[in-house]
A and B are shown apart, each in its own frame.
Chain A
Amino acid sequence: MKRLKYLWFKVATFTLLLLWAQQVLFQQAKASQFPPLSPLGKVPEPNDNKTTEQKVALGKLLFFDGRLGGDGSTACASCHVPEMGWDWPGKLSLGYPGTIHWRNAQTIINAAYYDKLFWAGSAKSLEGQARSAAKGAVAGNGEDDIMEARLALIPEYREQFKKVFGDEWPKINNAWNAIAAFERTLIQTDTPLDRFLIGDKAALTTEQIAGKKLFEGKAGCIQCHNGALASDQSYHNVGVPPSSEWLTNPLAQITMRYELYAKGINEQQYRHTKADPGAYFRTKHSAMKGKFRTPSLRYTLYTAPYMHNGELADLKEVINFYDRGGFTKDGRTTAYPATKSQLIKPLGLTKKEKQQLLLFLKAFSGEKITIERPKLPAYQPLFSKNELKEAKK
């Protein structure tokens, strides 16, 4: 009997050992199966919109110009505020006057490296993103004809569009090209992490290096936040709960329903959906419900609050959220449990580990990038009074 008990003990120990070994091997495999964190490298540039200095200069003006929008009030820079991390500091983005947006504004910094833009990846390029944002009813609410007409009545723009694009009159699509070119200059490639990765081992502290190990191992962050951008640019449901703004803000309730309606879903879904279906809108495939594109971790130090709807106030909360297995402090999680990522599990991080992870996350950001706001050119009448008087009827 005693011998049998001993045997049991041996079997149990062996099994545990085996499991542990498997776990370690798996973790290593996990780290190696994902693209490693790496320096950002050169900013990609589309063949049909090469960056030039003049184009960037024009794009900078346009980025700050509310006349590319419905009522002249809402520029790109209205929601992507340079002084505030090139995004909007509220949970949900500012939105066009009379509305509030329904998602958190993302930072422009390093946006040039994404191959798809917006939380659901609905734009294929920065050029397309600029156009969609300027025209969306709860964003810029602009229309092509009036925006193009406005550009034509600003002599400085006429001159610059002609120089840069060779157009007799400014074309609205070239405005998006110029803005995208400007955005391709808004990059940060010299963070502590980048310096560390290219060989400066002193660029990260011991604590941060420990955090990096957790990032790539126990905490599993690398599974989605990988590669140079620290984003797999893929879509996941990590458990973010529906926006709390929808419970307290009538304008947010309006926008939520509007988006459901405008993005074209069936009546049943329109009536009953109470959470952002995310990438589902692009595919209409139920497996995509509640999934959002992994955001880059670069520059995040300045872009609180976090997640597609800003439900997490700071990076500490983000870490705790993942440590709890995709639950907020009050226990809320995704309204689409069926699609919640299998990768998201309670992590069992110690207080110290969380601190190390937090310190490491800070290594993804360098100095704050700000910019001097440009002085915008003024409208001028196209014709003089005399020219008008002389025109024959």
Chain B
Amino acid sequence: MRLIVQAKKFKIVVLLVLIINSTLITADNTKSLKANSDTDIALVELGKRLFFDKRLSGDSSIACSDCHQPQHGFTHNSPLSPGYPGNKHFRNAPTLINTALKTRWFHDGRIATNLNDVVREMLTEDYIMNMDMRLMQERLKQDPIYPTLFDQAGLGEPSNGGVRKALPAFLASLTSLQNAYDTDELTVQAKQGKKLFFGKAGCSQCHRGILFTDELPHNTGVPENLSVFLDPLRHQAFLAFNMFMGVSDYMSLKRDVGAHVLTHKADGSDREQFITPTLKELKYTAPYMHNGVFNTLNEVISFYNKGGGKDRNLDKRIKPLNLTKVEQKSLVAFLESLSSPTNVAKQYSDLKQQYSYHLIEKWQEKVN
């Protein structure tokens, strides 16, 4: 809960929390907040339905939830995300839990405005959902339920702008539950891990703040996931992406250039840098790293213990740690304490929505 309360700028989250903890607010405030809250709840409900709707992709075959699966902590349990049919994705799907608290998104950090822009990119990119949002809004108008949901959420009729408000609202509702770290109920082992995390192991140099990330790009020498280049279906998405991002040598790339797509340094010193991921909820989000090369937290810690990977631009902070087996184990215990005791996403696992279109009768007489 500490995490949520700190995130004051996220109005919706805060409002939702206030509704839940209505004892915290005065009677006078309740009224005005309540009015807003009904709309906000409706907005979240709308976003939730959209999140699971396959018709938000160009060929109506995949929903947001296909790559960000609730049962896997809103990630996908394969190293690389499936992506749009006809090709596959070239990176690991990051968790959406707490994503509303981030200030920049994607493993390369290419968007640093807001979730509205992130949602637009996810919906329209040809290797992700390949949706023409003008078509999307007409699809939603044809649904027997959406017009009401949009209206209740104060968005008027279904529109692409409305989708880009409702999905972020839903994402904002996906926040961590209280964990052992938040409540200061760490086991002895985890406490030792905490000491290492903030001390000898040096993790907190990059993994800091409420989300345990500095949200900055670093080169830790993560081994390349060769499937990106060996599977033409992934490689084509990788090529299209780098072409689009203006990386001039995209055809000869044998490495994911990461944040270079943004900074384009001529000397290449910005290549293979990736944004520090959050450590929250990582119990549910394996495999790890931007390309999913590590299956377990043990592997991740063993990787850093050896001083990361090989790279000419390896971050100076990455050095062999000389942790003992016991120390490594306590570090894992600490990392696990940063996850909710139960999967936040569990409540969405059983969500079964019915999606259909309805025929507009007497169409000639109706207003479009």
Contact = CB atoms under 8 A, between A and B. Distances in A.
Interface of A: 66-67, 69-73, 96-99, 137-138, 141-143, 145-146, 148-150, 152-153, 169, 242, 246-251, 253-255, 257-258, 260-262, 270-274, 379-383, 385, 387-389, 391-393
Contact of B142 (A67, A253, A387): A253
B303 interface: no
Interface in B194-240: 221, 224, 226, 229-233, 235-237, 239-240
B59 A379 contact: no
A391 B254 contact: yes
Given A145-B244, A393-B309, A71 B130 contact: yes
Interface string B308-319: 011111000000
B251 interface: yes
B236 A388 contact: no
Contacts of B233: 379
Interface in B84-104: 84-87
B255 interface: yes
Contacts of A274: 363-364, 368
A250 B255 contact: no
A253 B231 contact: no
A379 B231 CA distance: 9
Interface residues of B, number: 54
A258 B272 CA distance: 41
B274 to A, nearest CB: 13
A247 B236 CA distance: 41
Given A146-B126, A388-B224, A393 B368 contact: no
A248 B357 CA distance: 12
Given A70-B58, A257-B138, A391-B254, 10 more contacts: A71-B86, A98-B58, A148-B243, A248-B359, A254-B135, A258-B138, A383-B230, A385-B230, A388-B254, A391-B255
B55 interface: yes
Contacts of B352: none
A146 B141 contact: no
A40 B184 CA distance: 86
A149 B132 contact: no
Given A153-B232, A388-B226, A253 B134 contact: no
B358 A250 contact: yes
B138 A254 contact: yes
Contacts of A250: 142, 357-360
A137 B86 contact: no
Nearest to A257: B138
Interface string B149-162: 00000000000000
Contact of A141 (B58, B255, B311): B58
Nearest to B365: A274
B25 to A, nearest CB: 41
B132 A141 contact: yes
B60 interface: yes
B20 interface: no
Contacts of A258: 132, 134-135, 138
B61 interface: yes
Contact of A67 (B86, B231, B235, B251): B86
B126 A143 contact: yes
B157 to A, nearest CB: 11
A14 to B, nearest CB: 50
Given A70-B59, A73-B86, A254 B312 contact: no
A146 to B, nearest CB: 4
A141 B272 CA distance: 32
Nearest to B124: A143
B359 A137 contact: no
B191 interface: no
25 contacts: A70-B130, A71-B59, A97-B60, A97-B61, A143-B130, A146-B87, A146-B126, A148-B240, A149-B237, A149-B239, A152-B239, A242-B364, A247-B364, A248-B359, A255-B135, A257-B138, A258-B138, A274-B363, A382-B251, A385-B230, A388-B226, A389-B226, A393-B310, A393-B311, A393-B312
Contact of B229 (A71, A146, A379, A381): A381
B141 A257 contact: yes
Nearest to A136: B132
A149 B59 contact: no
A149 B243 contact: yes
B254 A150 contact: no
A338 B132 CA distance: 34
Interface in B115-134: 126-127, 130, 132, 134
A381 B224 contact: no
B307 to A, nearest CB: 14
B12 to A, nearest CB: 29
B135 A137 contact: yes
B367 interface: yes
A262 B309 CA distance: 49
B138 A387 contact: no
B34 interface: no
A134 to B, nearest CB: 12
Given A250-B142, A254-B142, A98 B232 contact: no
Given A153-B236, A248-B359, A253-B359, A381 B230 contact: yes
A253 B363 CA distance: 8
A380 B236 contact: no
Contacts of A96: 58-59
B264 interface: no
Contacts of B329: none
Interface in B32-78: 55, 57-61
